[in-house]
Structure 1
Amino acid sequence: MRRILFTSVLLLTGLGLAGCTGSMSGSFDEGVVSPASPPMQGPITDSESGGDLQSGGEQIIVTGNVSITVESPIAAADETARIVDQAGGHIASRTERAPDDRAPGSARLVVRIPTAELTRTLDGIKALGDANETSLDETNVSSQLKDLDARIAALQASVDRLIVLMAGADTTADLITIEQALSERQANLESLQAQKRSLDDQVQLSTITIYFISEKDAPVQQPETFLSGLIAGWNAFVGFWATMLVFVGVAAPWLIFVGLVAAIVLWVVRRSIRKTSSQAPPPTTPASTDAS
């Protein structure tokens, strides 16, 4: 009987404690507004975050520079714009120098190319001429995007909770305080969202700067073998005499003009000398006298 009575007391005490705990928990839940739970969303796709974050894919920002020698830089720039447009990208900036008597012109383009189409698109652009230099840099921003996602989710939950509290504010002072806190959190949330959109855009679209130069402006290749050295020497020899012929052609009119002026001056001087000599009196001989 004592054991039964002791067991019954323990059961009643446990039930009483459980009831008190549930009552206190219910009272506490009624006095505190729980944050609104964000709606469940599907898996993050490539178009939403720049890559497949759910599957653990790395988020890479690709930037680079490409230098290409072409016959007509302006025409190559137009063709590049068409190739980039077909790949789903666009031209961020374009600078051109028109050809003149001294140079055939040049072009500089900053293009945004979808990262998935980068290799194929660059191959098509480099096929327009002779690629001199290609450099690509990759920056992994996976951790930054994950950190931004976490901070955005926390701030969004805080904003939702403040909106609910503001709807149930009893006094003007509470309303003003909640509005100030809400404005601050919304500004921070928009700033983080803007940073995430910028990173997503850089991940999805690679930024490549392309320089189109003419053969005249192309870097000189240093000879590495006897044959290439011989060819370079012959080209230098021919180029030297070609330059000399051009110099002679340019200087010929000036040489002819200077020669004519010198001939006229010499003719005038000689004529003056002859005239002066003809007008001079003949020399006189002294009269001879007799010695006697």
Structure 2
Amino acid sequence: MDATSPRLLLAGTCLALLTTLSACSGSGGGSDSSSGEAAPLSGADSAVEDRAGRNAFSSAGGSTDESVTEAGGVEARPVDAVEAQQPALISTGTVSLRSDDVADTRFDVQKVADRYRGQVTDSETRTDQEGEVRDARLVLRVPSAEFTEAMDELEKVADLEASTSTSEDVTTQVVDTRVRIRVQRASIARIEELLQRAGSIRDVVAVEQQLTQRQERLNSLLRQQAYLADQTSMSTITVHVERADAARTEPEPVEAGFLSGLRAGWDGLTTVLLGLATVTGAVLPFVALGLLLGAPAWLLLRPVVRRRRAAA
């Protein structure tokens, strides 16, 4: 064994020990400085959050989510494959029916909604002058998984006039909203930690402003998530039911010329004469009653009137 080997070994050991001590002292100094007075807030947290929100979702098949680690960094993790593969659809449909008995058809539509564990959220019914139901409008909410089956059954309730359905794929919005909520909650957790370490009034006010802004964003994202969850879990179907004999007729074209004017004048004269005859018939009983009561009264009062005139 060479004489210089122990010296080299001792030098390497001392160098490693010095490196370890310097690293420990550097980490301890950093913790002491952070526990004293918190540094003023900058746009770093907001930039990290915005960057995390933009990069959190790239596509439905290969999206990643950035979450905050305990050390304050950001790590990327893939979204579950099941979330990306399950489509989220907003389905809406309209069914127009014609039936001889609108009330009976309306009851059948209600039974279809009950069969598929749905509900009627809006209903409107109109009647004619005789009090019979002329048409009805119903808005149904049924589970999205059974939207197609419900549409097929509603089309068979009565005579089908028209049927339309649309589906909008909002899978991207659902996954993106979920990721943004996760990132926003992590950002709020960071701001709350900064609020606990704030050492001056200025820092406290700045941190509270940032916390309020992030909470408002989180509440907005939660409302959007609730709306998407409601629309994707329950589909909307609007059903119009019209009575068969209440078909709308086209107005007759207006005629012009001498014959049409003569016909219109004759119709007007007939209407006037008919009105006069109606008035005469209505007044005649009162005239007869007046004559029947007025003649005896006049015979009784006539001598008295004569005597007064003679005396005068």
Other structure's SS at 2:95 match: strand
> What is the aligned partner in structure 1 of residue 19 from structure 2?
17
Sort the Cα spacing of 1:9 and 1:123 in 2 relative to 1 into closer, same or farther, 3 A. Answer: same
Relative to the length of structure 2, the TM-score reads 0.57
Q: CA deviation at 1:23?
A: 4.6
> What is the aligned partner in structure 1 of residue 135 from structure 2?
106
1:63 to 73, 85, 92: 92
**Is 1:180 paired with 2:209?**
yes
Task: Tell me if structure 1 keeps the 8 A contact 2:94–2:238.
Answer: yes
Q: CA deviation at 1:142?
A: 0.9
Other structure's SS at 1:58 match: coil
Q: Distance in 1 between matches of 2:136 and 2:174?
A: 35
Q: Which residue identity lines up with residue 170 of structure 1 in the other structure?
A: G
Task: Tell me if structure 2 keeps the 8 A contact 1:36–1:157.
Answer: no
Q: CA deviation at 1:197?
A: 0.7
Q: Distance in 2 between matches of 1:92 and 1:18?
A: 71
**Is 1:157 paired with 2:186?**
yes
1:129 to 139, 143, 158: 158
Task: Tell me if structure 2 keeps the 8 A contact 1:69–1:218.
Answer: no
Task: Tell me if structure 1 keeps the 8 A contact 2:102–2:136.
Answer: yes
User: Any residues of structure 2 matched to 1:179-218 within 5 Å, and which?
Assistant: 179-216=208-245
Q: CA deviation at 1:25?
A: 4.3
More moved, 130-139 vs 17-26 = 17-26
More moved, 71-80 vs 58-67 = 71-80
Q: Distance in 1 between matches of 2:29 and 2:91?
A: 55
Q: CA deviation at 1:97?
A: 1.3
> What is the aligned partner in structure 2 of residue 75 from structure 1?
104
Q: Distance in 2 between matches of 1:102 and 1:55?
A: 54
> What is the aligned partner in structure 2 of residue 265 from structure 1?
none
For residues 1-33 of structure 1, the C-alpha deviation after alignment (integer angstroms, 9 at most, x for no partner) is: 435544553454345334533553465467389
User: Any residues of structure 2 matched to 1:239-278 within 5 Å, and which?
Assistant: none
Task: Tell me if structure 2 keeps the 8 A contact 1:36–1:160.
Answer: no
Task: Tell me if structure 2 keeps the 8 A contact 1:63–1:138.
Answer: yes
**Is 1:93 paired with 2:122?**
yes
Q: Distance in 2 between matches of 1:72 and 1:203?
A: 34
Task: Tell me if structure 2 keeps the 8 A contact 1:96–1:107.
Answer: yes
Which sections of structure 2, spanning at least 5 residues, go unmatched?
Answer: 39-67, 71-80, 250-266, 278-312
Task: Tell me if structure 2 keeps the 8 A contact 1:74–1:96.
Answer: no
Task: Tell me if structure 1 keeps the 8 A contact 2:155–2:163.
Answer: no
Q: Distance in 2 between matches of 1:219 and 1:11?
A: 102
Moved over 4 A (4+): 25-30, 101-104, 217-220
1:139 to 168, 171, 177: 168
Count of residues in Structure 1 that have an aligned counterpart in Structure 2: 211
> What is the aligned partner in structure 2 of residue 234 from structure 1?
none
Sort the Cα spacing of 1:81 and 1:19 in 2 relative to 1 into closer, same or farther, 3 A. Answer: farther
Which sections of structure 1, spanning at least 5 residues, go unmatched?
Answer: 38-51, 221-250, 262-292
